[in-house]
């Protein structure tokens, strides 16, 4: 939230705010049994990235190096808890040796037989396709360590094989073994996250089919946010505009933005206040509105920090 407000130009003391957040976290780490300090999204690592980016006196590159190193073999092997997330942190803050060390280990865990990583998470072993918990986020973290043509070959092979096609539209399940009834059209699971994260590595036919699905499915009833909401899906439409230079996709992205604004207003009217979180709340929508104005598809904390 501090980073997002700072990026949007809010008039508050972001360096002091993130310093206070770091002090609070160290005094009482959030999450109880789920606390994991090296995690990008759920722990101390994300706080230190923000401290670096906003120029806070609390920025501690050595602590950030330590956290990235500690997380390099976390068994989730995904972005939220594991090394792909802390690899993005290292890359954003110029910690190349730490990023390369984690990248080497992540690359070694990429199974050539299944083309997937296996996530040991919440007491289950699964193989996820999307950016939050699996394949797409991992591949994105390996950009620059593995040649794009190698990534393109392996990404295309898997996503051609696992794509669900119907009436010219394309989607992907959360996991290759997921039943049809579990398919979703969200950033975290489904076509929006795949296109937003890996669209430039995919054949155009898959991208356009996925884009048509996102557009025809329309804004999400789950809400306006990033993770599983209208704004998150809209970033895929911005990505298609970048890839194709077709203004139709920018127009569609902006239509999603206007619907997301209406969803925010309706939710505020219903509960009497805003929703104060980056991934499921109003600030994520604000970042999406800025992205639509600028016609820039970079996804918060994945592409831009």
Instruction: State yes or no: pLDDT of 156 exceeds 60.
Output: yes
Instruction: State yes or no: pLDDT of 9 exceeds 80.
Output: yes
The overall pTM is greater than 0.85? yes
Burial 47-66 (b: 16+ CB within 10 A, else e): bbbbbbbbebebbbeebbbb
Cβ–Cβ < 8 Å for 274, 282: yes
User: What confidence score (pLDDT) does residue 37 get?
Assistant: 83
**Which residues, 6+ apart, have CB-to-CB distance to 28 below 8 Å?**
none
What are 172-216's pLDDT values in tens digits? 999 998 776 678 999 999 999 999 999 999 999 999 999 999 999
Q: How far apart are CA 196 and CA 237, in angstroms?
A: 8
User: What confidence score (pLDDT) does residue 211 get?
Assistant: 98
> If you average pLDDT over every residue of the chain, what do you get?
95
What are 112-142's pLDDT values in tens digits? 999 999 999 988 999 999 999 999 999 999 9
Residue 126 backbone phi and psi in degrees, to 5: -145, 165
Query: If you compute the radius of gyration of the chain from its CA atoms, what whole number of angstroms results?
Result: 19
What's the rounded mean pLDDT across residues 241-245? Answer: 98
What are 250-298's pLDDT values in tens digits? 999 999 999 999 999 999 999 999 999 999 999 999 999 999 999 999 9
Q: How far apart are CA 28 and CA 220, in angstroms?
A: 35
């Amino acid at each position: 939230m501090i980073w997002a407000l700072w990026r949007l130009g809010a008039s508050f003391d972001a360096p002091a705010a993130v310093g206070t957040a770091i002090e609070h976290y160290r005094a009482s780490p959030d999450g109880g049994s789920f606390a994991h300090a090296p995690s990008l999204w759920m722990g101390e690592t994300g706080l230190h990235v923000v401290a670096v980016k906003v120029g806070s006196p609390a920025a501690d590159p050595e602590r950030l190096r330590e956290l990235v190193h500690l997380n390099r073999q976390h068994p989730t092997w995904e972005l939220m808890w594991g090394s792909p997330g802390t690899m993005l942190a290292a890359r954003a803050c110029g910690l190349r040796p730490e990023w390369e060390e984690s990248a080497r280990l992540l690359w070694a865990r990429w199974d050539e037989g299944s083309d997937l990583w296996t996530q040991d998470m919440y007491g289950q072993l699964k193989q996820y396709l999307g950016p939050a918990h699996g394949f797409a986020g991992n591949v994105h973290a390996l950009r620059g360590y593995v040649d794009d043509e190698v990534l393109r070959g392996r990404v295309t092979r898997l996503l051609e094989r696992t794509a669900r096609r119907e009436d010219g539209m394309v989607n992907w399940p959360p996991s290759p073994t997921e039943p049809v009834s579990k398919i979703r059209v969200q950033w975290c699971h489904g076509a929006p996250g795949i296109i937003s994260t890996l669209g430039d590595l995919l054949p155009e036919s898959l991208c356009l089919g996925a884009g048509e699905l996102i557009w025809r499915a329309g804004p999400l009833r789950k809400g306006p946010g990033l993770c599983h909401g209208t704004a998150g899906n809209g970033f895929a439409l911005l990505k298609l505009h970048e890839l194709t230079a077709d203004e139709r996709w920018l127009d569609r992205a902006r239509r999603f933005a206007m619907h997301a604004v209406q969803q925010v207003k309706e939710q505020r009217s219903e509960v009497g206040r805003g929703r104060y979180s980056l991934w499921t709340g109003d600030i994520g929508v604000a970042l999406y509105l800025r992205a639509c104005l600028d016609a820039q598809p970079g996804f918060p904390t994945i592409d831009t920090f």
